[in-house]
Amino acid sequence: MFLSRFALFCFLISVSFISCNKDKRLESDTSEAVVNVQSENLDQALFACKSVKDVENFLDARPYLAKEYFASSQMDPRQLATHLFNISQNPDFQAFRSQLDSLIGDRKHNILDPLAEAFKQIKYHYPAFQAPKVQFLVTGFTGTDLYITDSLIIIGLDYFGGPNAMYRPDVFDYQLRRYQKEYIVPSIVFFESNRFNKIDPTDKTLLADMIGYGKGYAFVKQIMPAAADSLVIGYSADNLRRTDASQQQIWAYFIAGKLLYESAEMKKKKFIEERPFTTEIGQKVPGAIARWVGWRIVNRFRAENPSITLSELMGMENAAQILQESGYNGEPDEVE
């Protein structure tokens, strides 16, 4: 619910002092956890196809691809097979795929191993958790960036080549920062948080959305304690510094405007959805600022209630209770 597609919503950023230190309070002993992450390089199978018929057979063997991963293409199976084959035969795209191998690097080391460690952390808190299978694809942005279900994760690597890639996804400039390989695992973990993030379906307030996102970000930070805040929320290091320094003014705006209990969708979108900046508050306030404030509230709640476990936090549906018990009033954290 809380993360749209990375145009979506999940990175070559130097992080600020508020996000670079590993919080040892978040560490969990996963030495006995066993998680096996199965993976498959579907891009290799696709590029090995020698004809449109081969691509049709490739798709027929994996019907979920046309139905789900390529759903936004709105092509029938024959059109899709022809389109993918033509892409695979294009010399420029073949060069792009080779470049991606260099930019992404070793998939096991850079993606699968960190993902396995994250899954171990999730299993520690949720013993019934079963790791989804992971598949890699490169399709010329025909599919989505990340497709995630309880049993399957498809990573469209062409989206995550970063600023040096020959081709970049067709998204706004302020969203491109997140389309780098460092964001892949934190973004997946955020998606996984939706399995456990309980919300009150009757609460349509902005506060409920804020706390929902805040719990999701807190989940990522718990599962990946060494991850920089910039990778968790997608803000640049500069934006993190500015928002942290200006949070009292930001909070005052929310209170003065009586925004916390706003339920009108159009008004909520101004503060919860991605934008270059939040013009209503100021040109230097990044978009989706309500998400960041929600994370601050949840962090303060956890600090005030250290005995609350991650699973207990994620099971809390009462956003107003979390705000009240947090005592948050726009104050920045004390620097230790």
Among the listed residues 243, 336, 249, 260, the one whose alpha carbon sits nearest the alpha carbon of residue 296:
243
SS3 assignment, position 92: helix
Q: Which amino acid is at 262?
A: E
pLDDT number for residue 298: 98
Q: What are phi and psi of 12, to 5 degrees?
A: -90, 65
d(CA 46, CA 67): 17
pLDDT number for residue 26: 55
pLDDT number for residue 126: 96
pLDDT number for residue 283: 87
Tokens 């928002």, residue located: 243
What are the pLDDT digits (tens) for 254-296? Answer: 999 999 999 999 999 999 999 999 999 998 899 999 999 999 9
Distant-in-sequence, close-in-space partners of 186: CB < 8 Å, separation ≥ 6: 10, 220, 224, 227, 231, 232
pLDDT number for residue 332: 81
Partners of residue 133 on adjacent β-strands: 152
* Burial grade of 63 (CB within 10 A; 0-12, 13-18, 19 or more): exposed
Q: Which residues of the chain have pLDDT under 70?
A: 1-33, 334-336
d(CA 290, CA 260): 9
d(CA 21, CA 30): 20
pLDDT number for residue 248: 94
SS3 assignment, position 115: helix
